[in-house]
Chain A
Amino acid sequence: MALKEQFEIPGGLKKWSLALMGIGVLTLILGVVYLHPFSGGHGEGHGEEAYGATKFWMALMQNGIFWLLVTAASFFFVSVTTLAQGGWQLSFRRVPEAISGGINVLGPIVLVILLAYVWVSDDHNIYHWKDVEHVKHDEKLSWKSGFLNPTFYTVLSVASVGLWIFFRNWYRKNSLAEDLAPKGETKHYWKSLAIAAAFLVTYGLTVMSTLPWMWLMSIDAHWFSTMYSWYTFASSWVAGISLMMLFVVYLKNLGYLEYVTEEHIHDIGKFMFAFSVFWTYLWFSQYMLIWYSNQPEETEYFIDRIGAGGKGGPFKAIFLLNLIINFLAPLLILMRRGAKRNYTIVTIMAVVIIFGHWLDFYQMVTPGPLKKLGQASNSLSYFLYSLGVGLGFLGLVLWLAGRYLTKAPLLPKNHPLVKESVIHHT
Chain B
Amino acid sequence: MSVKKFVVGCFDDEKTLFPAVKNTRKAGYKIHDLYTPFPVHGLDHAMGLRETSLHTAGFIYAITGTTTALSFMGWVFTKDWPLNIGGKPNFPLPAFIPIIFELTVLFAAVGMVLTFCYLCQLAPFVKKDHFHLRATDDLFVMPLEVTDKTNVEEVKAFLKNAGAVEVFEKEAETGWWIGRYDKDRKIFEKEEKTVIA
Chain A residues close to B by CB (< 8 Å)? 284, 287-288, 291-292, 294, 335, 337, 425
B22 at the interface (CB under 8 A from A): no
CB closest residue in chain B, given A289: B94
Task: Check if A425 sits within 8 Å of B94, measured CB to CB.
Answer: no
Report if A425-B97 is in contact (Cβ < 8 Å); known contacts: A294-B86, A337-B55: no
**Could you tell me if B55 and A425 are in contact, using CB atoms closer than 8 angstroms?**
no
Q: Which A residue sits closest to B55, measured CB to CB?
A: A337
Q: Which residues of B contact A335 (CB under 8 A)?
A: 59
Q: Which of B55, B59, B88, B97 contacts A284 (CB 8 A)?
A: B97
Nearest-Cβ distance from residue A306 to partner chain B, whole angstroms = 12
Q: Determine whether B41 belongs to the interface, using a CB cutoff of 8 Å to chain A.
A: yes
Q: Are A292 and B95 in contact (CB under 8 A)?
A: yes
Task: Please give me the residue from chain B that is nearest to A423 by CB atom.
Answer: B41
Given contacts A337-B55, A425-B41, A425-B42, is CB(A288)–CB(B97) below 8 Å? yes
A288 to chain B: which residues have CB within 8 Å?
94-95, 97-98
The A-B contact count (CB < 8 A) is: 19
Chain B residues with Cβ below 8 Å from A291 are 94
CA distance A243 to B88 in the complex (A): 41
Per-position binary interface string of chain B over residues 38-59, scored 1 when its CB falls under 8 Å from any chain A CB and 0 otherwise: 0001100000000100010001
Give the docked Cα–Cα distance between A294 and B86 (Å): 9
Q: Which of B41-87 contact A (CB under 8 A)?
A: 41-42, 51, 55, 59, 86-87
Separation of A337 and B42 alpha carbons in the complex (Å): 16
Q: How many interface residues does chain B have, given as a range?
A: 10 to 19
CB distance from B43 to the nearest CB of A (A): 11
Q: Give bound CA distance, A292 to B51, whole Å.
A: 44
CB within 8 Å of A: which residues of B?
41-42, 51, 55, 59, 86-88, 94-95, 97-98
Determine whether the beta carbon of A287 is less than 8 Å from that of B94: yes
The minimal Cβ–Cβ distance linking B196 to chain A, given in whole angstroms, is 37
- Residue of A with least CB distance to B56: A336
Report B-chain residues with C-beta under 8 Å of the C-beta of A287: 94
Cα-based distance from A335 to B58 in the complex (angstroms): 12
19 chain-A/chain-B pairs, Cβ below 8 angstroms:
A284-B94, A284-B97, A287-B94, A288-B94, A288-B95, A288-B97, A288-B98, A291-B94, A292-B86, A292-B88, A292-B94, A292-B95, A294-B86, A294-B87, A335-B59, A337-B51, A337-B55, A425-B41, A425-B42
How many whole Å from B168's CB to the nearest CB in chain A? 33
**A residues within 8 A CB of B42?**
425
Q: Which residues of B contact A284 (CB under 8 A)?
A: 94, 97
With A288-B94, A294-B86, A337-B51 known, 14 other A-B pairs at CB within 8 A are A284-B94, A284-B97, A287-B94, A288-B95, A288-B97, A291-B94, A292-B86, A292-B88, A292-B94, A292-B95, A294-B87, A337-B55, A425-B41, A425-B42
Residues in B neighbouring A425, C-beta threshold 8 A: 41-42
Separation of A284 and B98 alpha carbons in the complex (Å)? 10
CB neighbours (8 Å) of B55 from chain A are: 337
Give chain A residues whose Cβ lies under 8 Å from the Cβ of B94: 284, 287-288, 291-292
Residues of A within 8 A of B51 (CB): 337
Complexed CA–CA distance, A291 and B59 (Å): 30
In this complex, the member of B51, B86, B88, B94 whose beta carbon has the largest number of chain A beta carbons within 10 angstroms is B94
Distance between Cα atoms of A288 and B41 in the complex (Å): 43
Closest to A293 in B: B86
- By beta carbon, the residue of chain A nearest B42 is A425
For B98, the closest partner residue in chain A by CB is A288
Bound together, the chains give a CA A240 to CA B41 distance in angstroms of 31
- Tell me how far the C-beta of A87 lies from the nearest C-beta in chain B, rounded to whole angstroms: 14
Shortest distance between the CB of A367 and any CB in chain B (Å): 20
B97 proximity list for chain A (CB < 8 A): 284, 288
Name the A residues within 8 Å of B41 (CB-CB): 425
Q: How far is the CB of A221 from chain B (nearest CB, A)?
A: 26
User: How far is it, in angstroms, between the C-alpha of A291 and the C-alpha of B88 when the chains are bound?
Assistant: 10
Least distance between B122 CB and chain A CB atoms (Å) = 24
Write the nearest CB–CB distance from B39 to chain A, whole angstroms.
Answer: 12
Report the separation of the CA atoms of residues A294 and B41 in the bound assembly, to the nearest whole angstrom: 52
In the bound complex, CA of A292 to CA of B97 (Å): 12
C-alpha spacing A291/B94, complex, angstroms: 8
Q: Report B-chain residues with C-beta under 8 Å of the C-beta of A292.
A: 86, 88, 94-95
Instruction: Report the separation of the CA atoms of residues A288 and B97 in the bound assembly, to the nearest whole angstrom.
Output: 9
Q: Which residue of B is nearest A291, CB measured?
A: B94
Instruction: Kindly state the separation between the CA atoms of A348 and B51 in the bound complex, as whole angstroms.
Output: 26
**How near does chain A come to B163, taking the closest CB pair, in angstroms?**
23
Complex CA gap A284/B41 in Å reads 38
What residues on A are CB-neighbors of B88 within 8 Å? 292
Chain A's nearest CB lies how many Å from the CB of B66?
12
